[in-house]
Amino acid sequence: MARIIDGKAFAARLRAAIAAEVAVLPFKPGLAVVLVGDDPASQLYVANKARQTVEAGMRSFEHRLPARASQAELLDLVRRLNADPAVHGILVQLPLPPPLAAAEVIAAISPEKDVDGLTVVNAGRLATGLPGLVPCTPLGCLLLLEEVLPEMAGCHAVVIGRSNLVGKPVAQLLLQRDCTVTLAHSRTRDLPGLCRQADILVAAAGRPEMVKGDWVKPGAAVIDVGINRVAGAAGKARLVGDVEFASAAPVAGWITPVPGGVGPMTIACLLRNTLTAAKNQEAARVGEPG
C-alpha cells in the first residue's frame, strides 16, 4: 500500500517558512491577481490566493474585470501593474473568457514580475537551465517528489499532459534532476503500457480517474495534478484527480491524494515565487541611479 504524500501539510510548512522570511524584510512583497469574468472556480482560487498572500505578510492587490472587458483594457491593466513598484508579482487567472487572447496578455507581463512563469523569457530560462520564475504547480510537484525521492537521477519519469502550465515545465524540472523523461499526451500509443514503465508518474491530463491501478508500476511515485469535479452519490459533486486513487494506491509506493496533494502546493509556490521576485526587484532597485 502506498504511503500518502501530504501536500496540505507540506504546503503549510512552506507558507510558514515564507512568512518568517517576509517578516524580517525591510519591504512588503506585493502580489497582484487579475480575474476577468465570474467563473465560480476561478473566483474561489483567487479568494484563496488573496487570503494566503495576506497571511504570509504580503500585500494582495485584486483586480476584477467584467467578462466583456476588451483585450486593450486588460493589456492596459497589465502595463500599469508592470510600472507599479508596490507590485512584485502579477498573475492573470486563466482561462480567460473568449474572445480574450491569453498569449498576448502573458507576453505583456514583465518577466521579472511573471510569478506564473509563463512568459517566453521564463519558459526559455527553464528550458536552458538558467535561474528564473518556474510555474507554480510544476514547482509544487517537484518539491513533493524531492521530499519522498531524494535521489531521482536515472528514474524514468512519465508525464501525461503537454500544457505550457504543467506538463512541459514538469518535464523540464524532472530532466534537470537527471530523470529520463517521457512526455505523453492524448495521441500517445499504448499509454497504459508506457505508464507501467514509470518510476515517477505525473498525471496532468485533466481527465477524471483516467490512470488505473494496472497502469502503475509497483512502488512508483504517483503525482496527481488533476482536479476534476464529478457527480458523486446522491448527485453531490465530488473532487477526483486524473488517477483512480482506490486502484492505484495499493500498487504505488507513494501517491498524492485529491484533494490535499498537489493543489495546496500551487498557492504556496506562488507565494514563494512572489518572495523571490520581490527580493530580485528590490535588489535591482538598490543599484538604480536615483
Q: Known catalytic residues?
A: 49, 93, 116
Stretch that binds ligand GUN, among 62-70, 90-98, 217-225, 254-262 (CB under 6 A): 90-98
Residue 92 is a binding residue for ligand GUN (CB under 6 A): yes
Residue 276 is a binding residue for ligand GUN (CB under 6 A): no
Binding to ligand GUN (CB under 6 A): which residues in 150-169? Answer: 165
Name the residue nearer to ligand GUN (CB basis): 164 or 182: 164
Name the residue nearer to ligand GUN (CB basis): 95 or 192: 95
Least distance from C-beta 118 to ligand GUN, angstroms? 7
The percent helix, strand, coil of the chain (3-state, each to 5) is 45, 20, 40
x-or-dash string of contact with ligand GUN, 184-213, rule CB under 6 A: ------------------------------
Q: Exposed, middle or buried, 95 (CB in 10 Å: 0-12/13-18/19+)?
A: exposed
115: three-class secondary structure by DSSP: coil
Residue 286: all three cell numbers together? 538598490
Could you tell me the sign of the dihedral formed by the alpha carbons of 267, 237, 252, 168, in that order? negative
Candidates 52, 60, 93, 274; binder of ligand GUN (CB under 6 A) is: 93
Residue 91 is a binding residue for ligand GUN (CB under 6 A): yes
Note the helical H segments in the chain. Answer: 7-23, 40-55, 71-83, 102-108, 120-128, 136-148, 167-176, 191-195, 245-248, 263-286
Residue 113: all three cell numbers together? 514580475
Give me the residues that bind ligand GUN (CB under 6 A), please: 91-94, 116, 136-137, 165, 266
